[in-house]
Each structure stands twice: as structure tokens, then as C-alpha cells.
Amino acid sequence: MSEPTVALQLLDVLREFGVNTIFGIPGGNVAAVYMALLERPDVRIINAKHETGAVFMALGYALATGRPGVVLTIAGPGITNALTGIASAYYEHVPVIHIAGEVPRSSFGRGAVQEGSASTHDSVELARRFTKFSAQINRAGSAAAVLRKAINTCYSGRRGPAFLSLPFDVANQPAARQRIAGSVRSSFDIDAPSCKHAMELLEGAERPMILAGAGTREATSRRALRRLAEHLGCPVAVTTKGKGVFPEDHPLYLGVFGFGGHDSVIDYLTEGVDVLLACGSGLNDLATNAWSPLLKPKSAFIQIDVDAAQLGKNYELELGLLGPTDAVVSRMLEHRSDKPQRRAVMWSGPTYAPADVSKKGMLSTIEVVKVLNEVCPSNSVFTADMGEHMSAVLHYLKVRDGGDFHISLGFGSMGSGICSAIGYQLGSVDRRVYAVCGDGGFLMSGCELATAVQYKIPVTFLIVNDARLNMVEHGLRDIYGATPDFSTQLVDFSMFAASMGARGAIIHTRDELIAALKLPTDGPQVLDIRIDPDVRLIGSQRVAALKQFREVPHS
């Protein structure tokens, strides 16, 4: 390139924010950015097989690195295909930047192929509902400023994605020469007297409990949460999305509350809680087992959240503390008593449901998860896709100190756990990433295996293959007493893997699974695990929560 273009300038802004990896699907209207990548070889491009997969990879990469996940697509179908992933990033509060090439401005309103101007489907407005910031870059002079604003907005308050439409003619214009000094930061005025009051309530409680959500997933928030729990000697339960934010090998860990949860949390709450602290959770139906009254403490409900709109939305509060968990809890700890906290109440960690054994002599999802606990390194990262296997993973998987877990339950998209695992592995090369999914989810998004092969990304995919859409079948039978047949053909995913150049194996026994997991690998591997579809977690709490909505009162 003879002179810097807007496209190159935008890449340089991304590099300022630490971006060194971009995911996407190339095409005509975004070609200028791809050409600019030739000028910046320090930024690698991961070409996915579908825009939805590209966004989920960017989401996983952002979770692993703390840097923005960046996605490049064309206009039109490139944007609509990406929207499922963008919506997931919005509900998971993950900073993802989606830059979509648009037709030249001179073509607006003329019916150009893939045109997304205000004269057609208006891609900026289409993306606005699922982003924190959505705009079109219409002038070369403002391009860098708009991107900086988008990134800063992604990281301000409750994090989330942003969308930028980049017309082809603007992307190719010479970049305006400008020097912008300074940076933007989002900060909160943490109220010290309220933090002191919160600490006094917790220290004075006889039966306190902490409920931690995904809003505490940042490393600094996890450390602050652990310091607080250890000071108080207070048990910690986690929401379904919050699984992994508190080490499950810690003596203060109580279990998961809600779908796939542990009766140890139910039992503790049933015996009564006088002060409850909820951190980083909007307390929606999944986080609260359909707004269970068990979460109403006798004395005080304290809630910490970075979004003021979440405070008191679902439960009546004694005290709402606005700010990031790490900042609020750190301020609370400044007011802690020097006296050791003594609790008369005792607990013995999570209570795991007894596991049924297959009458057919087959493996079950529960056995698969237990093998993961035995074989995988303690710092392993696990993702779970949508499906019947979720309840077993949430219940039996032990995410230990140094490990991590992610599930995109905010939007609940099949395929999310498959693709986010690829992105997470790219951003965390020193840890092994394991994606637990079903055959239905892999049929939907498994073509991204080719992406993992191409870039030698050593993710292990564990496909619990029951040859049916098992979550739907079990769910309808539980709620309605009957179900249509949701069985599918039995797919050989080991052959599927081999066709793409990945190592694959069909797993029938526990010993075969252990041996496969212990094999060294420099690329992805696919384990097609044949399971008994009728063995499941007993009493997952979610079905009982859903049944209350079946009966609609007559008007």
C-alpha cells in the first residue's frame, strides 16, 4: 500500500488495545481490512467457517485474554449470521468488536447486493439491540475516534459487544493524520459507609451465604471474593453461569444453585440464611431456580453489581452496592474486624446426587464427567454446549483452583461451547481446553473443527453421542408426560474428524476414555463417546422450576 488507509488505521487502533488476533470470514466489502492485515503481520487472522462460529471464537478469546475479541465479516448475511454470537456476547457481557464491510456509500438506496444502509434492513439498527454501541463510519477523519469510542464503551460498566459498519469506499480512503493523546477509563465512586455497613452485617450474621455469578469472573474479582469468604468463614454458592468463579476444591465451596445444582445449597438455604450477599448476578430465573423464595434471607439481602439496573430488580434489598465486585469487596475488606470469625454452622461441601448406572452396560454423561475430574490437569478449562449433558457437567464437574469454566447460558445458543473453546485455547496456550457437547450441537457447529485443524489448535471435543436431541425429549416427557421422537441417525464423528485431518476415536468404555484423554496432542481431537441416553442427573431442579409456568391462569 502506498499510503495508510482508514482500514490500516483501524488495525493500528486495535493494536493499541492489545489486539493481536482477529476472527472472521473474508469478502468483497471487507477486503480493504484484509489487505491492511498484510501490512501488520503481527496481527494474525483466523478464518472461520461461519460467522457465528467466528464470533463465538472471539468471545472465548476475550474471556481467556481480557482483550477485545474482534470479528470481521461482510455486510448482509455476514451480519445476520454473526448476530447469534453477538447476542450471546451481549448476554454474557463479553467485549467483542464486530466490524462489517458495507457497500460503498454511492450505492446506498440503489438495491446493491448485501446493502445494509438505512434504505434497506439498516444493519446499524439491526445490531443496536444486541450491542452496547452500534454505528457506521462515514468519514475518514472520524474513523479512529469512532473505533476508540466503541472499544471504550465495550469496557465501561457492564461489558458487552459493539458493532461498526465500514463502507468500502471509506475503508479505502487515505487515513487522516492525527495524534490523539490520553485514554478513557470507567470508574465508580464506591460508597465507603455502605461497604462498612455491609461488612458489619456479614460479620454479625450467624448463617451468612455468598452467591456468586458470572460477573465475578475477572481474576481480580475472584481473588477478592475468596479473601472475603475466607475472612468471614462464609460458604459460597455459585449460579449456573458463575460456575468456576470460586474453586470447587475449596472448603468453603457449597455448590451450584439452580439447573444442575446441588442439594447442599438447597439444604443450607432451607435451614435459614440471615444475611445473603449476591455478587455479579442479575438474579434471573436460571441464577435463582426460577426466583426461589429460599433466597430471601431473614435479615438482609446485599447485592453487588456493576449495573445499577440489576440492583433490587428481582429481590428486595437491604443494601445495593454499585460497582465491580473487586472494587466493592476490596473496600468492604478495609472495614473488616480483626477478630476471627467463628461460625457455629457446619457444612461439608457440595452434596452430589447418586449416579445411575446404565442397564445397557454403556457409558453415561455422568461417568464421562467423573473421568474428566480424574484425568484432566487441575488448571484445565472446560466449556459446555447446550444440551442434556449440561446438567451433568454443572453438577459433577469439579473446576479446581487455577481452572476455568464457561457456558453461554445467557442466550443459550447451541454451538456456543464448541466454538468458544477454540477461541479460549488460542488465548490460553498454557492450559488444556475441553469442550463437552452433544451430537446435536456438533452437527450444528462442528465444521469449525476444520478451523482448529488449520491453525493447529489443540482443543479436545468430547461429544456425548446419544443419537437424539435428548434435552428436548426428556424435557417434554418430564413436563407433559409424552414427547415426539427426536432421535437422529447415529453419526460416526471419528470419521468426520479424520476427513478434516483431526484425530478422532469412538469411545465405548471408561478405560478407552482415560487412554484417549492421556494422549499428547498438537492439534484438535474428537472423542465420539457412545452413551446411554436414558441415564441422567436425578432431580436437576430445573424441571420443577419450569413446571410452575405451564399453567396459565384464566383471565
Domains (ranges, CATH) in the chain? 6-171 (3.40.50.970), 192-333 (3.40.50.1220), 365-542 (3.40.50.970)
Q: What phi and psi, each to the nearest 5 degrees, are found at residue 287?
A: -75, -20
Q: Is the pLDDT of residue 76 over 70?
A: yes
CA dihedral 491, 493, 496, 501 (to 10 degrees): -170
Region 370-383 average pLDDT: 97
Handedness of CA 178, 183, 186, 188 (dihedral sign): negative
**Cα 308 to Cα 157: distance, rounded to the nearest angstrom:** 9
**Cα 239 to Cα 259: distance, rounded to the nearest angstrom:** 9
- Distance from chain centroid for Cα 38: 31
Report the pLDDT value the prediction gives residue 549, as an integer from 0 to 100: 42
Total residue count of the chain as it appears in this document:
555
- Average pLDDT value for the chain: 91
Which residues make beta-bridge pairs with 96? 69
And the C-alpha cell for 239? 449460579
Question: 206-219 pLDDT, tens per residue?
Answer: 999 999 999 999 99
Q: Is the backbone of residue 122 left (phi > 0), alpha (psi -120 to 50) or beta?
A: left
Q: Predicted confidence band at 536 (pLDDT cuts at 50, 70, 90)?
A: confident
- The residues near 427 (Cβ < 8 Å, ≥ 6 apart) are 21, 60, 61, 62, 63, 64, 65, 67
Which residues make beta-bridge pairs with 278? 211, 303
Report the pLDDT value the prediction gives residue 344, as an integer from 0 to 100: 59
Report the pLDDT value the prediction gives residue 451, as an integer from 0 to 100: 98
Percent of the chain with pLDDT over 70: 94
Q: Which helix (H) or strand (E) holds 499?
A: helix 493-500
Q: Which is more confident, 179 or 326?
A: 326
Region 489-505 average pLDDT: 96
Report the pLDDT value the prediction gives residue 343, as an integer from 0 to 100: 65
- The residues near 226 (Cβ < 8 Å, ≥ 6 apart) are 246, 247, 250
CA dihedral 230, 231, 235, 236 (to 10 degrees): -70
Q: What phi and psi, each to the nearest 5 degrees, are found at residue 344?
A: -75, -25
Q: Is the pLDDT of residue 312 over 60?
A: yes
Report the pLDDT value the prediction gives residue 2, as an integer from 0 to 100: 56
Q: At what angle do helices 192-203 and 325-333 cross, to 10 degrees?
A: 70
And the C-alpha cell for 168? 468500502
